[in-house]
Amino acid sequence: MSLYRPPRIPASQITPEHCFLARRSFLAAAAGGALLASGMPASAEALKASKSPYAVDEALTPEKDVTSYNNFYEFGMGKGDPIANSEKFKPTPWTVKVDGLVGKPKEFGLEELMALPLEERVYRMRCVEAWSMVIPWIGFPLSALLDKVEPLGDARYVAFETVVRPEEMPGQSGYFQSLPWPYVEGLRLDEARHPLTILSVGVYGKTLPNQNGAPIRLVVPWKYGFKGIKSIVKITLTDKQPPSTWNLAAPNEYGFYANVNPEVDHPRWSQASENRIGEGGFFGANRRPTLPFNGYAEEVAGLYSGMDLRANY
């Protein structure tokens, strides 16, 4: 049974986690680099990134909403759980292993990935639960990483895997297991190589907070948010369609493709419109129509020409 529910609480009523944020920034200001050296959770560090032409012309979702209204079941199932329960998570040191059907498999240190040219991409993001945000991600095209490992001719898909650390991720242990771990996702190789597909290492000018998928997560703006797998440790090139966590959990509700499609409803709610998180107003005032491919149809519709997008949802 799916754990997803359509949102019932207007964004304007989400309680901001002021105490938490204030405490984190106090720690960062007081201890600075000492925290990193001592192996405690790295607080946000400023990142240099060039502005990308890939930027939507819409108001940014406030940073406090981007970092306090999250889905990250490794830290709990509630929207406020990731910020509340991820303090112990250590995003450094970190490596990402890239293997499978490639000429040059390699385990990359985070530093090497952060040294790639970083861009700020302001993307419209749409969650399958019918809410949306506009987020200034910082990252690099996934294709830049794939080029380094030289995919072989028979590679057709890319599989992704999240870290498993029950001692730091309370949602991965205990009696109530919400999902099977590790969280896994996949893309077709041409989707993975599309210039809009990025690996993000930061948001709002700083390194990613734990709750947003530190230290490195996938961002695919024309697909529902669950494709954006967080805290990635492994990327495997393969010739078979990889499993994806929500498709395994509820195959009739969540497909492999998960392209944003206002014409194909979720079995339990409509996908025709969305609630823009962080915009004020009384309930319903911030609802807007959902766009095909989340507004990126011009760039990506060609990837699916000839495909039945109702069957391949």
Which residues sit at the interface with ligand MTE, rule CB under 6 A? 70-74, 127, 162, 183, 212-213, 225-226, 228-231
Of the two residues 73 and 157, which places its CB atom closer to ligand MTE in the complex? 73
In whole angstroms, how large is the CA radius of gyration of the chain?
19
Instruction: Report the nearest approach of ligand MTE to the CB of residue 91 (Å).
Output: 13
Cα→Cα distances 21→25, 41, 87, 181, Å:
6, 14, 11, 28
Of the two residues 101 and 244, which places its CB atom closer to ligand MTE in the complex? 244
| C-alpha to C-alpha distance for 214 and 232, rounded to whole angstroms | 9
Q: Please tell me whether 165 is known to bind a ligand.
A: no
Of the two residues 31 and 77, which places its CB atom closer to ligand MTE in the complex? 77
Q: Please tell me whether 204 is known to bind a ligand.
A: no
Of the two residues 79 and 155, which places its CB atom closer to ligand MTE in the complex? 79
Q: Please tell me whether 104 is known to bind a ligand.
A: no
Instruction: Report the nearest approach of ligand MTE to the CB of residue 62 (Å).
Output: 13
Name the residue number minimizing CB distance to ligand MTE.
225
Kindly report the number of other CB atoms within 10 A of residue 292's CB atom: 16
Of the two residues 155 and 226, which places its CB atom closer to ligand MTE in the complex? 226
Kindly report the number of other CB atoms within 10 A of residue 151's CB atom: 21
Cβ pair 249, 226 in contact under 8 A = no
- In which residue are the tokens 């450094």 written? 92
Q: Which residues pair with 137 in a beta bridge?
A: 121, 203
| C-alpha to C-alpha distance for 131 and 129, rounded to whole angstroms | 6
Nearest to 188 by CA among 291, 132, 259, 128: 259
Of the two residues 72 and 108, which places its CB atom closer to ligand MTE in the complex? 72
| The total number of residues written for the chain in this structure | 313
Instruction: Report the nearest approach of ligand MTE to the CB of residue 306 (Å).
Output: 29
Q: Please tell me whether 73 is known to bind a ligand.
A: yes
Instruction: Report the nearest approach of ligand MTE to the CB of residue 131 (Å).
Output: 9
- For the record, the structure tokens of 16 come out as 């901001």
Instruction: Report the nearest approach of ligand MTE to the CB of residue 229 (Å).
Output: 5
- In which residue are the tokens 């099977």 written? 180
Q: Please tell me whether 74 is known to bind a ligand.
A: yes
Q: Please tell me whether 79 is known to bind a ligand.
A: no
For residue 155, which amino acid is it?
Answer: A
Task: Evaluate the CA torsion angle 77, 228, 43, 33 in order and state its sign.
Answer: positive
Q: Please tell me whether 212 is known to bind a ligand.
A: yes
Contacts of 297 (CB under 8 A, 6+ apart): 222, 291
Of the two residues 136 and 228, which places its CB atom closer to ligand MTE in the complex? 228
179 DSSP 8-state letter: S
Instruction: Report the nearest approach of ligand MTE to the CB of residue 141 (Å).
Output: 19
Instruction: Report the nearest approach of ligand MTE to the CB of residue 2 (Å).
Output: 11
- For the record, the structure tokens of 265 come out as 């409803």
Cα→Cα distances 212→68, 237, 300, 304, 305, Å:
9, 25, 25, 29, 33
Q: Please tell me whether 23 is known to bind a ligand.
A: no
Instruction: Provide the annotated binding site.
Output: 70, 73-74, 127, 162, 212, 217, 228-230
Which positions make up the binding site for Mo-molybdopterin? Answer: 70, 73-74, 127, 162, 212, 217, 228-230
